[in-house]
Amino acid sequence: MAKKPSAKPALKNAASPKAAGVKPASSKPASVKPVSVKPATKPTGVKASPPVRPLQDVAGPAAVRMPDGGVKMVDKEMAEAVAARVAEVAAEADKPAAKVANLPATTKQQPADKKTPVEKLGDRESVQIEASILAAALHCAAKNDVRYYLNGVHLFEHREGVLRIEAANGHVLFVHDYPVEKVPAWAKAGGVVVNRENLGRAVSAAGKNDGVVLELSTGIGHPHMTVGTWPDQWATFRLEMFDNVKFPDTEKIAEGAAGTLSHSGERTPLDTTAIDANYFKLATLVAQSLNIPGVQAYMGDGKSAAVFTFGVRRAALYVMPIRDGGAMSVQAASVLAPAVRGSVGALKAHQTRNEQAAKEAKDPEEAKALREKAAGFAKRIKELMGAANEAKALPAPEKKAA
């Protein structure tokens, strides 16, 4: 008995035009080159997509398996693009995670017995300081300066048994020495800078009475300082501080003021030193904080700092002068006419000395400089005498009738 012929097997991953319901473009089937796609390598730890099987040489669209696992009818160009994308995804997934993140594949671990050293904090030590000194220093500390170490009060051991409290803002410098029984370890070497924020509150809490004391407590490596009223400790404040900072060398500023105290330098009669008026007010505020009624002022030659001292206090205020202070103005000379006439003789003496030195000088350049200096004195004398002569004398009082 003859067997019935079996049905013609269907093409794998491809559908005939009739089965897909698509009418061929012509009666003859179009020639389509097969596209070979290598199955993607299964990456480590990544579930690979089903491989794309080769397309059959059939007319019309072809059925391919997409990277997401679905089947789609595409043409030749699309099939090639799908195959390329599948290969790209497989290659990307095959890369180690460390390479994708651009990091070393392995991380070197430290031995268990080797630990990172931890800086040991120093023991807390305290020192008592008069609140009035800190109040005076706060008047001279900078505010919101980019040099953060100026926005506070610097405390350090100036010499054995002496704690120095200082503050500066770039134009003025306040210095006060304060003897103590024992200088704490945190004040040695470069000392510390206590941020002005909240320090003023601690000073206000202590009160303005003369002799009121605040206790400052901290240790080496500590980020904060505790400031409280002493001895009752009824109010305490936690203040930010900085250590290991290079505060300006105030000793050099003091050395530069030597000419001011000795009245030396290139000063001539009627020369002046111009000071910012705000700093005169600052000297008053410092004196009030220190409970000192009088201030002693020492003016330099316009190049060195002016110096203010405060009675019996171990304190000094250095103020940088205004460079263009110059000599006395003609307007001021007219007011001081009687005094100016008596001082012009000293200017004439300077003129004569420079003229004589110019005649004796062997170097032409030196002689020229001395003559110019003598001419300057002559011009100055003429200006001052003209202003003094223009000043009108006060009228004589009228005689009363008998």
pLDDT in tens, 201-230: 999 888 877 789 999 999 998 989 999 988
State the average pLDDT for the chain. 75
Can you tell me the mean pLDDT for 273-289? 89
Q: What pLDDT band is residue 331 in, cutting at 50, 70 and 90?
A: confident
pLDDT higher than 60, residue 13: no
Q: Are 222 and 239 in contact (CB under 8 A)?
A: no
pLDDT higher than 60, residue 344: yes
| pLDDT at 41 (0 to 100) | 52
pLDDT in tens, 360-381: 888 989 889 888 888 887 887 7
Q: Residue 175 burial by CB count (10 A; 0-12/13-18/19+): exposed, middle or buried?
A: buried
Please state which of the four CATH numbers 3.40.50.720, 3.30.365.10, 3.10.150.10, 1.20.1630.10 is assigned to the domain occupying 125-250. Answer: 3.10.150.10
| pLDDT at 401 (0 to 100) | 62
Percent of the chain with pLDDT over 70: 62
pLDDT higher than 70, residue 55: no
| pLDDT at 75 (0 to 100) | 66
Instruction: Pick the more confident residue, 155 or 64.
Output: 155
Q: What pLDDT band is residue 161 in, cutting at 50, 70 and 90?
A: very high
Q: What pLDDT band is residue 317 in, cutting at 50, 70 and 90?
A: very high
Percent of the chain with pLDDT over 90: 27
| pLDDT at 251 (0 to 100) | 85
| pLDDT at 268 (0 to 100) | 64
Q: Tokens 């800078």 label which residue?
A: 193
| pLDDT at 63 (0 to 100) | 64
Instruction: Pick the more confident residue, 53 or 320.
Output: 320
Closest among 134, 144, 135, 180 to 161, alpha carbons compared = 180
Q: Where are the domains of the chain?
A: 37-98, 125-250, 255-325, 330-390
| pLDDT at 165 (0 to 100) | 97
Question: Does the reported pTM lie above 0.75?
Answer: no
Instruction: Pick the more confident residue, 28 or 335.
Output: 335
| pLDDT at 66 (0 to 100) | 62
pLDDT higher than 50, residue 19: no
Long-range contacts of 133-136 (CB under 8 A, 24+ apart): 133/165, 133/176, 133/178, 133/290, 133/315, 134/165, 134/199, 134/202, 134/203, 134/214, 135/200, 135/203, 135/208, 135/289, 136/174, 136/176, 136/285, 136/286, 136/289, 136/290, 136/315
pLDDT in tens, 93-140: 655 544 444 444 444 455 555 555 556 788 999 999 999 999 999 999
Can you tell me the mean pLDDT for 150-155? 94
